[in-house]
Amino acid sequence: MPTPDFVLDLRRRVGHDLLWMPGVTAVIRRDDQVLLVRRSDNGRWTPVTGIVDPGEEPAVAARREALEEACVEVRVDRLASTGATAPMTYPNGDRSVYLDLTFACTWVSGEAAVGDEESTEVGWFDRDALPSMSEEMLARIDAAWSSEERARFRR
């Protein structure tokens, strides 16, 4: 699902004003590989990401997004990092800042495939052979891949 209905309802009320949105990133591991999706809006490779629905637990949102976007079931292992993104402006003029909660996840089942219109490709990548992606996404993967027990607080 591209933009949740509750966000569309908010946008009808506030227009393009800056919104503070809760978001999740699911860094999904299978052995020495990580599952990535190529976003349809900008063509960039990223882990699975999404918006937390009102009242939804963030770890539940990470599992839901993995199933919706990449057709895989995952186990959420731990909170790996948290931080706010820089303000984003979308092509239609909407502006948002996300509180991202990145979760380290383990693949449980399912054949990875494009699950919705949010991505154009899905693939497993060796940890040492990742496609080009933003430093922010690489930091999320690094935090999830680490053996740390505590979440990293991004600055």
Kindly state the average pLDDT of the residues 59-73. 97
Average pLDDT, the chain: 94
Going by the DSSP 8-state scheme, the letter that residue 111 receives in this structure is: -
Band of the pLDDT at 16, cuts 50, 70, 90?
A: very high
pLDDT of 107 > 60? The answer is yes
In the chain the domains, ranked by start, together with CATH numbers, are 5-146 (3.90.79.10)
pLDDT of 1 > 70? The answer is no
Q: Do 127 and 145 meet the contact criterion of CB atoms below 8 Å apart? A: yes
CA distances 121 to 22, 27, 61, Å, are 25, 16, 21
**Two tokens, residue 145:** 């891949």
